[in-house]
Chains A and B, each alone.
Chain A
Amino acid sequence: MALAFDEFGRPFIILREQDQKTRLRGIDAQKANIAAGKAVARILRSSLGPKGMDKMLQGPDGDITITNDGATILEQMDVDNQIAKLMVELSRSQDYEIGDGTTGVVVLAGALLEQAERQLDRGIHPIRIAEGYEMASRVAVEHLERIAQKFEFDVNNFEPLVKTCTTTLSSKIVNRCKRSLAEIAVKAVLAVADLERRDVNLDLIKVEGKVGGKLEDTELIYGILVDKDMSHPQMPKHIEDAHIAILTCPFEPPKPKTKHKVDIDTVEKFQTLRKQEQQYFDEMVQKCKDVGATLVICQWGFDDEANHLLMHRNLPAVRWVGGVELELIAIATGGRIVPRFQELTPEKLGKAGVVREKSFGTTKERMLYIEHCANSKAVTIFIRGGNKMMIEETKRSIHDALCVARNLIRNKSIVYGGGSAEIACSLAVDAAADKYPGVEQYAIRAFAEALDSVPMALAENSGLQPIETLSAVKSQQIKENIPFYGIDCNDMGTNDMRKQDVFETLIGKQQQILLATQVVKMILKIDDVISNSEY
């Protein structure tokens, strides 16, 4: 019972205990938290690396997700434990920042927690462990910078970029055609990249999927794909050199925002109203026609009459296009989104070389391709695949690949993968540990050991002897003083990651280490867990 006494000696209760609350304090709290964190990391451990396994997740509504993307697994897992939720957050923030390495970061954090537990048993104070970790992470990040390599590419020679994306994709189910998907991803990023400012806006890349066909049919479209068809079945399906009016006002009589009523009390009024109505439609269509539009894309619906008028005047139209898509179309075609018919001018029209409708499969599904746009800074990756889960997983994989390509354009430094960077860091941290005189030395050593767990997991998942392989690679790195030896996951016969072309971005790796350390520090600092016992 947490009791305190005020200055008159009267007791008052700070925290009501017993029935309603359970409370863990001190070392128990830390142990419990570490156990929860480890449990989450254990689930992800087997998904790491090119030979990692997938997880099948059944959602609350019975829907199935099959994935090996760490962030997705954790997101869908629906965890209840507070510490486990922290790990989920960790993976998510890696996803937001970098987009790749979401599994690795959790595995690393799990290993750090495991090592921390051992240090706790030795009687080292959690704060000292946290401080030691902090120092070690600084050493590791600096070392990463030292072993990082510059990575050269330009728009005409994007082969190195493709190789990096291939590494990312090789751990996913899509690795059957990783090469073509990597090329698609790189081309997409290069198409929207601003190489001067070294910036890539991934919002400009739309990833669409449709069930059916095979993975090899996945294509990159220099333009926009809209999951809609023409509003009238008899409108032309193919428009060359389209001038597109992008509207956010419906082809319907206007609805003033203020509440109003039009009262009809005489026959004359009825008739004028009728005329007015016809005029409305006529004017609307005429206005579009006058500015020279050859295609209307509208966010809202059309009245039947307007629809026919459009068709009649040979003005193809698409209705119910979503807001995001509308924006993308506007960006791609260089048009402006027009909220009112009165404001339509020829300059505001977007331009596209070809607009065509394409149908798929045996069902009546059509999509609209808008290609050869005036401003080609928006592209679409159109994924085909055997089933829904496959498409979802491909979408996630492509997203990862896109992020990697973007990071490389932002920052050209890379480190070699296959666990080689972790091993190199571990060696550097281990060497640095001896220089610290305090208790932190132990924590720093523990950090080095935790770093080893990533290559260890890689080796385990690839069916190699983990301890044997790791020690062999480690000694090789020291002997030859080359930090590029890693785990040979693909059974290629060489440990040299430069030859295997396995690399990751420097910022990705650095971020992994920093984020994992931060979260572990946070967990270590908790010494009191108060929760409602009902849960």
Chain B
Amino acid sequence: MPIDRIFKDDANEEKGERARMASFVGAMAISDLVKSTLGPKGMDKILQSTGRGHSVTVTNDGATILKSLHIDNPAAKVLVDISKVQDDEVGDGTTSVVVLAGELLREAEKLVASKIHPMTIIAGYRMAAECARNALLKRVIDNKDNAEKFRQDLLKIAMTTLCSKILSQDKEHFAEMAVDAVFRLKGSTNLEAIQIIKKPGGSLKDSFLDEGFILDKKIGIGQPKRIENAKILVANTAMDTDKVKIYGARVRVDSMTKVAEIEGAEKEKMKDKVKKIIAHGINCFVNRQLIYNFPEELFADAGILAIEHADFEGIERLGLVTGGEIASTFDNPESVKLGHCKLIEEIMIGEDKLIHFSGCEMGQACSIVLRGASHHVLDEAERSLHDALCVLSQTVNDSRVLLGGGWPEMVMAKEVDELARKTAGKKSHAIEAFSRALVAIPTTIADNAGLDSAELVAQLRAEHHAEGCNAGIDVISGSVGDMEERGIYEAFKVKQAVLLSATEASEMILRVDEIITCAPRRREDRM
């Protein structure tokens, strides 16, 4: 009697060719999905959520698109995952990595169909990836020692990154902004210190970088609206009712008068606290938690600006900017480090009032105020700017840069092609396929721009035959041009991450010869 089932009822198993087919198809579908967003003339996608309100996102960012997809195909999930990691690690190239992995698998499928074992393909891909990386390393430009030139490099990288996004109209403006912001971080990669405030209204051009710090809060009523030479105490303490923290304590009284007495004592306690805070000799007090009306009034009486409910990051940033220490106890005013800034004032952006700190001691944090026509535009602008900031902050640490516009891919493809010619054995087919997959990226860029990709790529290949050529696709003029002249630069770190994780992912998918899907866990229907 044959045993037909060793798995649970709903589980299912796909073997050999079928499994490989399933993963190839899934991966290619994902790659084709995001393919059209690649490059400066890439198109956007509208994502509608299934949640309440059916909120709509318009984006061109690969990671954002893939993150919001509900995917059932296991291989496709691998691609989504690499795109997510690319976003976390370097911030840009999230589309390229998926497209490259998809192309690698497309080529692999052809090779498998012509009876080459997946392991051989993997071996070839590995050699090719190593060779491609070395080719890039040979051609990197490093301007770390020359500060002026390095800044120019960063500007160009920012512009290249931004030109594929919604901000492309004002890319100079935004690139300038992003570079300034990143230079303020002084080499740290903590992008939390750059605050992005979105205010609908105005146009994208009205966005600006503020060297000070902007807190999206209102100033309490009856308190000064403008303070010069501010001494700021940044705090994280309860300013509502300061409850007794000893466990199990509770108030039990037997008469109304006693209630009043206790209440009085509580008030006294709060008053003491406020007094202590005032004793620091400050004129501005920022708290992370709520400030009740009573202490707020006390602050107003003392002529102190009190800001409540600044969120956690806000507090941390403020600490960074003003150099103050985040305090929770107030018993020794002499040793608490206060923050300083030249001027605190309330400013208006659009219709909202914000608090602006300027002339801060330590300029490690800054704010970028984005203006735009609608929420969708602002969200997309934020994502684009975030990409640019990520890339820039990574480039500050690893200052190697490359030319853009399909140039790196062509350089890699050329070297890999040469390797294929030198390699004996079946592996050389795989290496050749790798080079074809690399060329697919400039092809896609050209296709998306509505250009004749076959013509352009062939021309590009011919130009690249010469040693030390700087040719790439200039999408704006629709021709092959010198990338160095046009100022199209990309960060080496991004390209390397794209290359390595795409190879890794395709290798992973190629190695699979069986897919076992477990029975889905049964959920209680909560509807």
Which A residues form the contact surface with B (CB < 8 A)? 24, 28, 31-32, 35-36, 39-40, 43, 46, 51, 53-62, 64, 66, 68, 73, 76-81, 84, 173, 176, 211-215, 232-234, 252-256, 259-267, 270-271, 273-274, 276-278, 280-281, 303-305, 307-309, 311-312, 359, 361-364, 385-390, 463
Is A53 touching B513 in the complex (CB atoms < 8 A)?
Answer: yes
**Partner-contacting stretch, out of B246-254, B368-376, B443-451:** B246-254
Task: Tell whether A233 pairs with B319 under 8 Å between CB atoms, given A53-B514, A64-B77, A305-B328.
Answer: yes
Is A267 touching B262 in the complex (CB atoms < 8 A)?
Answer: yes
Measured CA separation A265–B262 after assembly (Å): 8
Q: Mark B80-104, 1 if CB is under 8 A from A, else 0.
A: 0110110111110000000000000
Is B500 touching A386 in the complex (CB atoms < 8 A)?
Answer: yes
Is A308 touching B248 in the complex (CB atoms < 8 A)?
Answer: no
Is B246 touching A55 in the complex (CB atoms < 8 A)?
Answer: no
Q: Mark B212-253, 1 if CB is under 8 A from A, else 0.
A: 000000000000000000000000111000001111111111
Task: Tell whether A60 pairs with B519 under 8 Å between CB atoms, given A212-B89, A264-B250, A303-B245.
Answer: yes
Partner of A53, one of B118, B244, B246, B516: B118
| Distance between B423 CB and nearest chain A CB, rounded to angstroms | 14
Is A59 touching B117 in the complex (CB atoms < 8 A)?
Answer: no
Is A54 touching B508 in the complex (CB atoms < 8 A)?
Answer: yes
* A-B interface, 4 closest residue pairs, ranked by CB to CB distance from nearest: A308-B328, A53-B513, A60-B521, A54-B511
- List chain A residues, Cβ under 8 A from B517: 57-58
B265 at the interface (CB under 8 A from A): yes
**Partner-contacting stretch, out of B6-14, B29-37, B298-306, B434-442:** B6-14
Q: Can you report 18 residue pairs joining A to B where beta carbons are below 8 Å apart? A: A36-B6, A55-B512, A55-B513, A57-B515, A57-B516, A58-B74, A62-B72, A76-B516, A80-B7, A80-B11, A211-B88, A215-B504, A264-B253, A270-B265, A280-B246, A308-B329, A359-B189, A359-B190
Q: Mark B1-19, 1 if CB is under 8 A from A, else 0.
A: 1110111110101000001
B327 at the interface (CB under 8 A from A): yes
Is A386 touching B88 in the complex (CB atoms < 8 A)?
Answer: no
Is A56 touching B19 in the complex (CB atoms < 8 A)?
Answer: yes
- List chain A residues, Cβ under 8 A from B329: 281, 305, 308-309, 312
Question: Which B residue sits closest to A214, measured CB to CB?
Answer: B500
Measured CA separation A102–B192 after assembly (Å): 46
Partner of A56, one of B246, B252, B512: B512
Is A77 touching B7 in the complex (CB atoms < 8 A)?
Answer: yes
Q: How many residue pairs, one in A and one in B, have C-beta atoms under 8 Å apart?
A: 242
**16 additional contacts, CB 8 Å, given A56-B19, A267-B262, A389-B508?**
A32-B3, A53-B119, A53-B512, A56-B515, A57-B515, A58-B515, A66-B78, A81-B5, A81-B7, A253-B246, A256-B247, A261-B249, A276-B246, A303-B245, A363-B88, A386-B501
Which of A263, A264, A303 has the most CB atoms of chain B within a 10 A radius of its CB?
A: A264
Task: Tell whether A364 pairs with B119 under 8 Å between CB atoms, given A56-B75, A80-B7.
Answer: no
Measured CA separation A213–B3 after assembly (Å): 46
Q: Mark B184-221, 1 if CB is under 8 A from A, else 0.
A: 00001111100000000000000000000000000000
B520 at the interface (CB under 8 A from A): yes
Is A81 touching B6 in the complex (CB atoms < 8 A)?
Answer: yes
Is B394 touching A211 in the complex (CB atoms < 8 A)?
Answer: no
- List chain A residues, Cβ under 8 A from B508: 54, 66, 173, 389-390
- List chain B residues, Cβ under 8 A from A276: 246
| Distance between A34 CB and nearest chain B CB, rounded to angstroms | 9
Measured CA separation A387–B504 after assembly (Å): 9
- List chain B residues, Cβ under 8 A from A73: 516
- List chain B residues, Cβ under 8 A from A46: 513-514
Measured CA separation A177–B415 after assembly (Å): 23
| Distance between B87 CB and nearest chain A CB, rounded to angstroms | 8
| Distance between B177 CB and nearest chain A CB, rounded to angstroms | 18
Measured CA separation A61–B520 after assembly (Å): 6
Question: Which B residue sits closest to A85, measured CB to CB?
Answer: B6
| Distance between A474 CB and nearest chain B CB, rounded to angstroms | 25
Is A40 touching B328 in the complex (CB atoms < 8 A)?
Answer: no
B109 at the interface (CB under 8 A from A): no
